[in-house]
């Protein structure tokens, strides 16, 4: 069982979906997180318009990841979801709120401030809940007889609250970097100003998580700090430092698009760090991708559909963003 390649392929596919989701919905949620700091109605319109044509497609990746998990790793789907029940339900409800607010905000005048509130509140709650879920999964939970065996509030931990806040910072950074790309003038200046502090805060959060996890999990400590692993793996933190410095440089040089790409790079490194810490464990502490796999024929059957669809969705996504390239100006965009 342990040498079957199919589960690895599925792990990579679902990882790709999650990564796409974090980057794409991350910046749209980030816009909502930054909403409280921008009071002017006309600026808020612009901010919304920088995501309006693409945000709904971004959520595609969350469903693609979730449904893929159900079909390819039913054990993971059937244990992570009940273990993280309350934060996940909260996230779903918040995402619904955020989505509907997004659509109807443009179709309203008098009630617009309510939709602003729902949009921003939905984004903040959804992001925090996602961070809590992330922390909960990293912390691991009890599984017996292939079912979740913990309690209602096992997902709750100081670490989870911390990852929740860290994700708020992270998405706010993605949002700010995106807005730097898509806006200009005074509004853009504001986002330029907050990219650096947000980057430094995120780096601090990543540092704390990188110290916290090996301290609380011997296996992770062993994987990172054991010789010779440490030589190869030390490239990850080195790259993080290099990227941080280049983000600061790009801000000074006003390389707007490069900043966003570098921020995405930071997120990628974070994900790579998690994979290094856990692979091939899918459900911490010890259930591997091979333990959690569905039947071989299920994974093959599903792979056929994914192989056809994934390139289409990727191409469509790229095409949408290309059409939407350039700055969003006041009074332009969706009515």
Partner 1 sequence: MLGFDALDLARFQFAFTVSFHIIFPAFSIGLASFLMATEALWLKTGNEIYHNIYRFWVRIFAVVFGLGVVSGVVMAYEFGTNWSGFAERAGDITGVLLTYEVLTAFFLEAGFLGIMLFGEKKVGRRLHFIATCMVAVGTLISATWILMSNSFMQTPSGYEVVGGRFEPANWLHIMFNPSFPYRLVHMVLAAFISVGFAVAGGGAYHLLRNREDPAARRMFSMAMWIIVVALPIQIIAGDAHGLNTLEHQPAKVAAMEGHWENGPSEEGMPLVLFGLPDKENERNRFEVAIPHASSVILTHTWDGQIQGLSDWPQEEWPDVALVFWSFRIMVGLGFLMLAIGLVSLFLRWKKTLYNQAWFHRIALIASPAGFIALLAGWVTTEGGRQPWVVYGLMRTDDAVSPLHASSVSASLIGFIVVYAIIFGIGTYYFLKLIKHEPTENMPAGGAGEDRQPKRPFSAADDSLEEQHKGA
Query: From the CB of 142, what's the least distance to partner 1, in Å?
Result: 11
Q: Tell me the residue ranges of DSSP E strands in the chain.
A: 143-144, 147-148, 281-283, 287-288
Determine the Cα–Cα distance for residues 309 and 301; give it in Å rounded to an integer: 13
Residue 208 vs 310, nearer CB to partner 1: 310
Query: From the CB of 275, what's the least distance to partner 1, in Å?
Result: 22
On the question of a cis peptide bond just before residue 280, with omega within 30 degrees of 0, the verdict is: yes
Residue 82 vs 237, nearer CB to partner 1: 82
Residue 57 vs 237, nearer CB to partner 1: 57
Residue 57 vs 214, nearer CB to partner 1: 57
The C-alpha angle 87, 93, 97, rounded to 5 degrees, equals 135
Minimal CA–CA distance to 266: which of 169, 159, 123?
A: 169
Residue 228 CB contacts under 8 Å (≥ 6 apart), including other chains: none
Query: From the CB of 232, what's the least distance to partner 1, in Å?
Result: 36
Query: From the CB of 255, what's the least distance to partner 1, in Å?
Result: 23
Residue 40 vs 222, nearer CB to partner 1: 40
Q: Classify residue 158 by burial, with Cβ atoms within 10 Å: 0-12, 13-18, 19+.
A: exposed
Residue 64 vs 198, nearer CB to partner 1: 64
Is residue 139 a contact partner of residue 160, using CB atoms and an 8 Å limit?
yes
Query: From the CB of 50, what's the least distance to partner 1, in Å?
Result: 11
Q: Pairing mode, if any, of strands 281-283 and 143-144?
A: unpaired
Query: From the CB of 179, what's the least distance to partner 1, in Å?
Result: 18
Phi, then psi, of 84 in degrees rounded to 5: -105, 30
């Amino acid at each position: 069982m342990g040498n079957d390649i199919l589960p690895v392929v599925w792990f990579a596919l679902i990882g790709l979906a999650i990564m796409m989701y974090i980057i794409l919905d991350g910046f749209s949620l980030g816009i909502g997180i930054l909403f409280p700091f921008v009071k002017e109605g006309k600026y808020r319109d612009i901010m919304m318009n920088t995501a309006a044509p693409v945000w709904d497609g971004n959520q595609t990746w969350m469903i693609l990841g979730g449904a893929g998990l159900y079909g390819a790793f039913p054990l993971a789907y059937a244990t992570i979801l009940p273990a993280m029940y309350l934060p996940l339900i909260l996230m779903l409800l918040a995402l619904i709120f955020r989505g509907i607010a997004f659509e109807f905000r443009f179709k309203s005048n008098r009630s617009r401030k309510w939709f602003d509130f729902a949009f921003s509140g939905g984004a903040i709650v959804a992001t925090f809940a996602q961070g809590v879920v992330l922390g909960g999964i990293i912390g691991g939970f009890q599984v017996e007889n292939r079912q979740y065996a913990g309690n209602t509030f096992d997902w709750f931990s100081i670490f989870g609250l911390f990852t929740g806040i860290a994700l708020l910072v992270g998405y706010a950074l993605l949002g700010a970097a995106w807005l730097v790309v898509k806006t200009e003038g005074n509004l853009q200046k504001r986002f330029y100003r907050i990219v650096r502090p947000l980057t430094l805060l995120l780096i601090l959060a990543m540092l704390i998580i990188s110290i916290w996890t090996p301290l609380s999990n011997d296996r992770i400590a062993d994987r990172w700090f054991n010789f010779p692993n440490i030589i190869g793996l030390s490239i990850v933190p080195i790259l993080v430092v290099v990227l941080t410095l280049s983000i600061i440089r790009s801000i000074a040089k006003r390389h707007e698009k490069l900043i966003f790409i570098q921020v995405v790079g930071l997120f990628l490194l974070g994900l790579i760090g998690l994979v290094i810490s856990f692979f091939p464990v899918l459900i911490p502490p010890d259930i591997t991708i091979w333990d959690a796999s569905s039947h071989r024929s299920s994974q093959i059957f599903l792979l056929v559909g994914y192989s056809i669809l994934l390139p289409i969705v990727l191409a469509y996504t790229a095409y949408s963003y290309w059409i939407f390239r350039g700055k969003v100006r006041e009074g332009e965009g969706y009515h």
